[in-house]
Structure 1
Amino acid sequence: MLTYPHIDPVALQLGPVAIHWYGLTYLAAFGLFMWLGTLRLRHPPFASMTGPGAWTRKDVEDILFLGVVGVIVGGRLGYCLFYKPGYYAAHPLEIFAVWQGGMSFHGGLLGVIGSFFWFARTRQRPWLQVADFVAPCVPTGLAAGRVGNFINGELWGRFASPDLPWGMVFPHSGSMLPRHPSQVYQFLLEGLLLFVLLWLYARKERRQGQVAAAFLVGYGVFRFIAEYFREPDAFLGLLSLGMSMGQWLCLPMIAGGIALWLWSAKRG
């Protein structure tokens, strides 16, 4: 049985300015996106595009900026609407208090989809082409975020068997019983494994929309599995059929990904 090694969330203190590890993981995510996006320019069909429709590094930079805006706005609104709608309806000004925490991946995904619609429309590109370009570059950012969760000692897992060799005690949870280090599970599944699978799948030209569809299905399945080991939010607990809110939000994501893949295959 392991004990969570308390890590100071502040990586560097420069006078009154505190640089947090969580912020550094976000910077790492942005840097990885730029690097992978630049490599993605060499993949088909983007490498063979010429003229006004050709993809450039400037496009990667613009997508990153719009994606960050979409993640922040969508992630915050998604958390308020999906997880605590009653509370934020009574305290609407606290929606803007992002420093208090509270972000939703599924809300962030919707925000990113909206920002990519904007990018596709202003650049006169097919939206699914934009989504296919971006999808393989996302999982490493998710992995970086899970590293931040672990450093902060948050989003710990459910209780584990005392015999589990990697069972970990999280004192922040208010219990000294071993738990699953679900942040690590999500780092490995939604981050590294999903990245490898998507990157290999996207290296060959696919029908438009199928790479994005693979991301939706892959993330939805891996997150659904990880939720069985992650402690559900205390104010929600488990919902119908013994599933968490995260699992319920993954179901339409998986269904939408399957539908998009089949539609793309039929459309040709």
Structure 2
Amino acid sequence: MLIHPQFDPVAIWLGPLPIRWYGLMYLLAFAQFILLGRYRIKTRPSIMTAEQLDDLLFYGMLGVILGGRLGQVLFYEPGYYFSHPFEIIAVWKGGMSFHGGFLGVVIALGLWARKQRLNWLAVTDFVAPLVPLGLAAGRIGNFINGELWGRVADANLPWAMVFPQAGDLQPRHPSQLYHVGLEGLALFLILWLYAGKNRPRGALTGAGLVGYGCFRFITEYFREPDAGIFGQSYTISMGQWLSLPMIAVGILLLVLAYRKQH
């Protein structure tokens, strides 16, 4: 049985300003997006230039931050934030919902595609393989902070870990690392290889939605469920409820993409 290392959440201090690991993970996520995106632009026919990619990242960053925060407020803790409205803007304290951030990015990409007069699905197809490693970086930030710990595990599980932040000394699944492995590394490999050949428009987007939704549904079984708007459930969690529409829309996109191709 392992014990969480209890990392200092502050990586470095710049005078009185703390630079937190979680913020650095977001920076790493945005950096890998640019690097992988430019690689795709150089090595494959692309719908955009490197300059457009930089502009797209700005829109995506706004979508992630605004959508992620509003998702946390509306999906998980509406009662708390409506009672403490000024806490909504305190993003430095943590509290970001992936599904909210996803919706924010979808809207941001739509606005950017309209501005550039590009097809929305063509843009999301380009973006899909660039996302998973950024998600992995965010989950590493969760692990460093010792948050979003897993459910109680068998003490004989070699990698079971005690998270003091959980308020007990029970061994738990390090579910943050499960997220890194499945929604991050595995999904990246699947989408990157799938994007290696020309696919019908919408297929990459659909594959990304199905892949993330399925992997998230699986990892939620090892994660201590959040108390969402439906309450806290160990049968089907808020994260799983929010993943079901992603899977359904992803399957629909894949079917329509290949039906249109034929």
Fold-level similarity (TM above 0.5): yes
Q: Deviations over 1:163-219 (max 9, x none)?
A: 101000111111111100000000000000000110000111100010011000000
- Name the residue aligned to 1:111: 104
* 8 Å contact kept, 1:37–1:137: yes
Q: Among 170, 173, 190, which residue is 1:177 paired with? A: 170
* One-letter code aligned to 1:64: L
- Name the residue aligned to 2:59: 66
- Name the residue aligned to 1:18: 18
Consecutive unaligned residues in structure 2, runs of 5 or more: none
* One-letter code aligned to 2:148: L
Greater Cα offset, 89-98 or 186-195: 89-98
1:124 aligned to 2:117?
A: yes
Report the 3-state secondary structure (helix = DSSP H, G, I; strand = E; otherwise coil) of the residue aligned with 1:228. Answer: helix
Tell me the distance in 2 between the aligned counterparts of 1:34 and 1:206: 22
Output the TM-score relative to the length of structure 2: 0.95
**Equivalent runs, 1:1-268 vs 2, <5 Å:** 1-42=1-42, 44-46=44-46, 54-234=47-227, 236-238=231-233, 242-268=235-261
Tell me the distance in 2 between the aligned counterparts of 1:199 and 1:82: 31
Q: Deviations over 1:90-122 (max 9, x none)?
A: 444432232332211001011000110111101
* 8 Å contact kept, 1:44–1:205: no
The percent identity for this pair of structures is 59
* 8 Å contact kept, 1:220–1:250: yes
Report the alpha carbon displacement of residue 265 of structure 1 after superposing the two structures with TM.
Answer: 1.2
Aligned length in residues: 259
Consecutive unaligned residues in structure 1, runs of 5 or more: 47-53
Tell me the distance in 1 between the aligned counterparts of 2:62 and 2:227: 29
Output the TM-score relative to the length of structure 1: 0.93
* 8 Å contact kept, 2:121–2:202: yes
* 8 Å contact kept, 1:45–1:205: no
Tell me the distance in 2 between the aligned counterparts of 1:27 and 1:217: 26
Tell me the distance in 2 between the aligned counterparts of 1:94 and 1:28: 26
